[in-house]
């Protein structure tokens, strides 16, 4: 039997480490944290970036898969994108995250980019 002192780090600074996402698997785990944090309990604002277009578990599963592909594509095509996450060395899981966009030039020199949400076509709201 393992003693409690062997199960948990004696210093909390040893338990959590901050890492930068380098693989799709890491970003997928980060997105799992975002989904869990914003859907349990439910945060309506999250529908702007993580829409579930339906009411069944299949709709939710499809939405999670779509978001993972979309965020990975965005991250890998934008060199200014840096996803950082807190990793729990005891559980082996991501427990928090943040995306930093670090630009070396003015990204708005030609004006603000138009953001599009293809899941909400122009003129339609989320309830369509």
Phi, psi of 119 (to 5 degrees): -80, -10
Q: What is the rounded CA–CA span in Å between residue 38 and residue 22?
A: 24
Q: Say if pTM beats, i.e. exceeds, 0.85.
A: no
Q: Would you give per-residue pLDDT tens digits along the chain (128 residues)?
A: 444 444 555 576 789 999 999 999 999 999 999 999 998 898 999 988 999 989 999 999 999 999 999 999 999 999 999 999 999 999 999 999 999 999 999 999 999 988 888 777 676 555 55
Residue showing tokens 């965005």:
74
């Amino acid at each position: 039997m393992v003693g409690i002192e062997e199960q948990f780090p004696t210093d909390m600074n040893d338990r959590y480490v901050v890492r930068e996402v380098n693989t799709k698997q890491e970003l997928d785990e980060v997105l799992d944290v975002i989904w869990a944090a914003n859907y349990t309990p439910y945060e309506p604002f999250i529908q702007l970036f993580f829409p579930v277009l339906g009411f069944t578990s299949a709709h939710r599963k499809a939405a999670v898969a779509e978001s993972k592909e979309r965020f990975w594509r965005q991250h890998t095509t934008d060199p200014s994108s840096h996803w950082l996450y807190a990793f729990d060395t005891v559980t082996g899981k991501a427990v928090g995250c943040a995306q930093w966009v670090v630009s070396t030039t003015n990204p708005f020199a030609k004006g603000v980019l138009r953001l599009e949400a293809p899941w909400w076509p122009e003129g339609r709201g989320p309830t369509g």
